[in-house]
Amino acid sequence: MRFSLPRRLGAVVALASVALLAGVSSAGAAQAPSVNITAIEAKNGNLVGLISASGGADIDPALTVTVAGKDHPVDAITSGQGSPVTRTAVIVVDTSGSMGEPGMATVRTAVAAFLKSVPDDVRVGVVSFSGKAVTDLAPTADHGKVQSAVNALKSNGETALYDGVQLAVRTLGSKGERSILLLSDGGDTASKSTQAAATAALKSGGVRAEAVSFKSNEGNVAVLKGFASAGGGSVVSAANAGAVASAFTSAAQTLASQLTFSMPLPPGVTAVQNIKVSGKASGAKFATTALVDFGDGVPVSTPTSTAVSKVPITGPTEDVVKASGSGSKVLGLSPVVLLAVGAVFLALLIFGLALSSSSFKSGRQTRVENIDRYVAANAAPTKGKNRQRAVSENLVFFGDKVMEGRESTGKTMALIERADLPLRPGEWWVLRIVAVVVGVAVSMTLIRGGVVMTLVALLLGVVLGLIAPAFALRFLAKRRAKKFDHQLPDVLTLVASSLSTGFSLPQALDAVAKDAADPSAKEFSRALAETRIGADIADALERMADRMDSGNMRWTAMAIRIQREVGGNLAETMRTTAKTLREREELGRHVRALSAEGRLSAYILIGLPIGIFFYTMQTNRAYVELLWTRPLGLIMMAGGLVSLGIGVFWMRKVVDVKV
């Protein structure tokens, strides 16, 4: 059957067109890269992901992320100079006897090319397998150590390929973008596991596998292709050292060409969602998916509306207060304002009581004050000073009335005398009131928050205001008493010297009052003044011992009383007493030095939790607030305070050594 020339030309053109279209289609299919999401997670309020294309293909940064059926345009950035997603790669090297020394030299050259091109933030590890799989180097950012580990590999023994792949998956961990670069001939002769187990490890771990088939036949390549397919990677056949180095460099470029995208978490999306990322790679469209656990997600913000304008303004009714959106306020005022108003009212009340306190004076006190003003009336002060003096005197008098008749007043005045502070009971009361006001002001400045925190700050300020003056008074009294005891041996030596030269005891005490340092000079001067108005000298010294709470002075007064009753050499008695006191003080200092480490440990252990609490209050307040916003936190705080109190008592007893 013959065809005409036009028909023949038409058939040729048709066949050529079909062949051209088929070639273009096949070429396009060959050039379309495989794009995968290699890491994605929801953290810190953002959805962060990492995508990569096989062969290091270029990915268009303009991506579309589909979450819960809604598209979100995202501009990705290259990860070549670092990525917020942790990236880890493990080089898996076949070191069986079939590799030989030439094969190991090829591995060293290929790894050097890989490390030269891989981004600096990628942590690289080394796993080798021959008769068994071994982790030669855990993943590290020090790429020099990686090259050294590979250079130390030797070729020997059987091949445990499947065990090597599984060990590499375990070495990679479970976070971030993970990949293995496998160099093998594809054979396995010594693995305890199977090819299916190794493939399943790659799939379940989400590990990308890039394989380089070296000195392999067709059957071996099929095994490596199975690994690459399970890990979303590719297989490159390399028959010589140059091809292997090129394959390793291509794997490094795949890491360098990865893109990182980040977007805020969509509100209302929770639990596990299937996320789709679509875009273009090397001009071809792609779409890849991955599962992401959003947890509780970001709550959907709902605008609040008020109905204040709809309520008729007939007065400050409860409806108006509720409509204004201030349910936590009382009468439209915040708790802080109410506390401030209460503090002002309290201050005015105290001030009014102070001004009217003169009406509480008895007739006797009024007559005595009138006589004092008549006798001591010299130059009349100014009117303003009179008013200021009247206010302060009335306030102090009110404090005297408050302190009068209390059991603690006697102990407080004894401490004030021991500390040598010129304070009356009323003045001490006023000082404590001022301390409470200052404590409340400081605590409310440092501790800020809602109603609960304001009440806590108020309570803490009151406690500090009440405790701090008492603590300071005891500290000052104890310090002055210790100084008196420290001076007493020298004072007794001075008394003994004066008695040896022929002075009487009162004259010797007068020498102490004139020549000794404070507080000894002041206390002995007071005792001497008591003897001049008729008191017994031994009784005056015993009162001084009680006033200074000094056991050493009590022994001294007892020695003087006994010597006066039975007779003897008082100067020698004073010298013996002084020597005994010096030896006792020396022993006490020695014991204090030996217990210094224990006391320092006690101070640190007591102050450390308190200091950390206040520091964390300023740096991470939300973390500390769990202690009083949760029932378990309240229980823990109560238990901690009780344990701290027991520890303070216990350590104080341990380090307190009596001499």
Of 216-220, 349-353, 606-610, the least confident:
216-220
For 160-210, what is each residue's pLDDT tens digit? 888 889 999 999 887 778 889 888 877 888 888 888 888 888 888 888 888
Separation CA 382–CA 38 (nearest Å): 88
Separation CA 285–CA 292 (nearest Å): 23
- Confidence at residue 312, expressed as pLDDT on a 0 to 100 scale: 42
- Given this model, what pLDDT does residue 56 score? 63
Cβ contact 129:158 at 8 Å: no
pLDDT (mean) for 235-258: 78
Query: For residue 112, how far is the Cα from the chain centroid?
Result: 43
Across all residues in the chain, what is the average pLDDT? 76
596-629 per-residue burial string, b: 16 or more CB within 10 A, e: under 16: eeeeeebeeeeeeeeeeeeeebeeeeeebbebee
pLDDT at position 215 over 70? no
CA 186 to each of CA 212, 472, 550: distance values in angstroms, whole numbers, following the listed order:
9, 82, 93
At residue 21, the pLDDT reads 41
Model pLDDT, residue 340: 58
Lowest mean pLDDT among 162-171, 239-248, 305-314: 305-314
Classify domain 87-256 at the CATH superfamily level: von Willebrand factor, type A domain (3.40.50.410)
Strands 272-281, 62-67: parallel, antiparallel or unpaired by DSSP? antiparallel
* Residue 6 predicted with pLDDT over 80: no
The confidence score (pLDDT) of residue 313 equals 39
- Percent of the chain's residues with pLDDT above 70: 76
Q: Where along the chain do its domains lie?
A: 33-80+264-293, 87-256, 405-593, 597-655
Which strands, in side-by-side order, build the sheet including 77-78?
Answer: 35-43, 46-53, 259-264, 77-78
The encoded tokens of residue 539 equal: 């009784």
Least confident window among 36-40, 387-391, 496-500:
387-391
- DSSP per residue over 91-135, as a string? EEEE-STTTHHHHHHHHHHHHHHHHHHS-TT-EEEEEEESSSEEE
Total residue count of the chain as it appears in this document: 659
At 418 the pLDDT is 86
Bigger pLDDT: 34 vs 529: 529
Q: Which residues lie below 8 Å from residue 615, measured CB to CB, with a gap of 6+? A: none
Which pLDDT band, with edges at 50, 70 and 90, does 292 fall under?
Answer: confident
Asked whether residue 218 carries a pLDDT value surpassing 50, the answer given is no
Q: Is the pLDDT of residue 508 over 60?
A: yes
| 359-413 tens-digit pLDDT | 445 555 555 555 555 444 444 444 444 444 555 677 777 777 777 777 778 888 8
Pairing between strand 77-78 and 259-264? antiparallel
* Structural tokens at position 488: 């007493």
- Other Cβ atoms closer than 10 A to 565: 9
Residue 574, H or E segment: helix 570-594
C-alpha radius of gyration, the chain, whole number: 45
* pLDDT confidence tier of residue 594, bands split at 50, 70 and 90: confident
Residue 48 pairs in a beta bridge with 41, 262
Residue 281 structure tokens: 């790679």
| Structural contact between residues 321 and 331, judged by C-beta atoms closer than 8 angstroms | yes
Higher-confidence residue of 32 and 619: namely 619
**The predicted structure's pLDDT at residue 91:** 93
Position 506 scores a pLDDT of 86
pLDDT at 125 over 90: yes
- Given a cut of 90, whether residue 532 has pLDDT beyond it is no
The listed range with the strongest mean pLDDT (20-29, 45-54, 306-315, 616-625) is 616-625
CA distance 554 to 629: 55
The rounded Cα 391 to chain-centroid distance in angstroms is 49
Q: What is the pLDDT of residue 392?
A: 63
Q: Which of 10-19, 34-43, 308-317, 593-602 has the highest mean pLDDT?
A: 593-602
Q: pLDDT-derived band of residue 630, with 50, 70 and 90 as boundaries?
A: confident
State which fold the 33-80+264-293 domain adopts: Immunoglobulin-like (2.60.40)
Report the SS3 class of residue 75. strand
CA distance 154 to 407: 90
HEC assignment per residue over 200-259: HHHHHHCCEEEEEEECCCHHHHHHHHHHHHHCCCCEEEECCHHHHHHHHHHHHHHHHCCE
For residue range 402-442, what is the model confidence (pLDDT) as tens digits?
A: 777 777 788 888 888 888 888 888 888 888 888 888 888 88
Count of helices and strands (H, E) across the chain: 22, 14
Read off the tokens for 434. 């001022």
Q: Could you tell me the pLDDT band of residue 314, with boundaries at 50, 70 and 90? A: very low
